[in-house]
Amino acid sequence: MPSDRLQRSLRATFLGLAVNLALTVAKFAAGAFGHSQALIADAVESLADIFSSLIVWRGLVVAETPADEDHPYGHGKAEPIAAAFVSAMLLVAAGWIAFHALQHIAAPHPAPSPWTLIVLVAVILLKETLFRVVLREGTHLESSALTTDAWHHRSDAITSGAAFIGISIALLGGKGYEAADNWAAVVAAIVIGLNGWRLLHPACNELMDRAPDRELIDHIRNVARTISGVGDIDKCHVRKMGYHLFVDIHVRVDSQMSVERSHRIGHQVKDKLREVIPAVRDVLVHIEPLPETAAARP
């Protein structure tokens, strides 16, 4: 049975997939019949959104696959891999849009049709709403893949906004301003490229096991210190695998304590951390002697 987290993630992903499929067809048609290069570029962005949603979908499903002999820490890295791939797609889409728009700037072409503005207003409202829905789910579920997919929707809204401005300038300026539509597509491509680069950074950090926020590590240390018999916390390393956290913690105890007692404390630390912080999947506890008592040993 899929977890509640997976079900919520997939609902948000499939919602985006259905909307993008409809928008891609609508924007390609409107761009072709309305003579708008910016709308065609916008349709390409929606097409990229479809592929990104498919990638996020597979990433979410694989990330929830239980640990096995080959992947003892689980498959949580599938999420940042999906996020990194989607970010790279944003960069590629930005490059394609800019190249295509710059090619058409010097070429003579008719001004876009006024009715394309109505299409763009509907697209902007729809994509901005979708962005907020998916981002809320991604933030709540701490999913890098879902959060990246949300910003992909925002990039689409930005592209549509730039297209709206460009077409408006082309229509109001009249003859000689037809290229405003293309320049709008170039500006949108720059914004999309910056978003792709910004989202690629955290995904790569997660793939490289960058430590989470200092506040979380301090919280883990403080929770461990509440266990009776824990003298101090030496090291505390935390790695993120999708939604889950894996903790490697060094607990100092009295050196005269029995192995059985120190072993029991280790289990208490593990159980307490998993109880207080639900995202903690597993805890590896290293038992070490307190420096003072260790030095006093014969």
CATH of domain 4-207: 1.20.1510.10
CATH class of the structural domain 214-295: alpha beta
Kindly report, residue by residue over 260-277, the tens digit of the pLDDT: 999 999 999 999 999 999
Q: What is the pTM of this model?
A: 0.65
Q: Considering the chain, what is the average pLDDT of its residues? A: 81
Per-residue pLDDT, 293? 45
Do 56 and 141 touch, CB atoms closer than 8 A?
no
Give start and end residues of each alpha helix (H) in 64-143. Answer: 78-105, 116-141
Extents of the domains making up the chain = 4-207, 214-295
Per-residue pLDDT, 294? 45
Between residues 264 and 209, the one the model is more confident about: 264
* Interval 67-77 mean pLDDT: 80
* Interval 195-224 mean pLDDT: 85
Between residues 224 and 56, the one the model is more confident about: 224
Do 21 and 51 touch, CB atoms closer than 8 A?
no
Distances (CA, A) of 50 to 14, 47, 70, 218, 260: 10, 5, 31, 40, 56
Q: Is the dihedral of CA 29, 30, 31, 34 positive or negative?
A: positive
* Interval 164-176 mean pLDDT: 79
* Interval 241-266 mean pLDDT: 89
In a 10 Å sphere around its CB, with 0-12 CB exposed, 13-18 middle and 19+ buried, how is residue 168 labelled? middle
Do 184 and 163 touch, CB atoms closer than 8 A?
yes
Which of 99, 95, 104 is CA-nearest to residue 180?
A: 104
Per-residue pLDDT, 268? 94
Cα 145 to Cα 154: distance, rounded to the nearest angstrom = 14
Do 280 and 264 touch, CB atoms closer than 8 A?
no
Per-residue pLDDT, 173? 77
Per-residue pLDDT, 292? 60
